[in-house]
Amino acid sequence: MSDMDWTKKKLAEILGEDRGLPDWAAKMVAKFDKEDLDGLRKNEREAAFSALSRVARQSRDNRGGALTAGEERPAWVEGDIDWGLRAARSALESVPAGERSEKAEELLADCECPAATGPNPGQDASTPGTGSH
């Protein structure tokens, strides 16, 4: 199984998605490989997966509004996965620094997305309207 196939399968598993995922979705999380996930402690991995899944689904479901019988959920968009990644980062950040694994510290240091919680959720230097962009 190629790395991209593994990534798509893992992301679909995390999101509870059985319709398959587009390549762009897997590319958004491709920098986190099996070794990275295996390096996290069980509680860190479960918290990050739960947060990513919950927030990405909330984002998607909010776009779909109230569905009637027979209607399908909307397709995933980049924003859904982005908010999920931000929530996963926040989940790792919520583990006290002295209790985080070395791998969690490494992933947080390399993370390019802003946190989903805090004083300015979803804002960083690349977010429009936050100054330097």
Q: What is the pLDDT of residue 10?
A: 93
- Spatial contact of 27 and 8, defined as CB atoms under 8 Å apart: no
Going by pLDDT thresholds of 50, 70 and 90, the confidence category of residue 1 is low
pTM of the full structure: 0.80
Summarised one tens digit per residue, pLDDT across range 104-123 is 999 988 877 766 655 444 44
User: How far is it, in rounded angstroms, from Cα 94 to Cα 34?
Assistant: 22
Residue type at 61?
D
User: How far is it, in rounded angstroms, from Cα 46 to Cα 58?
Assistant: 18
User: How far is it, in rounded angstroms, from Cα 63 to Cα 61?
Assistant: 5
- Spatial contact of 44 and 92, defined as CB atoms under 8 Å apart: yes
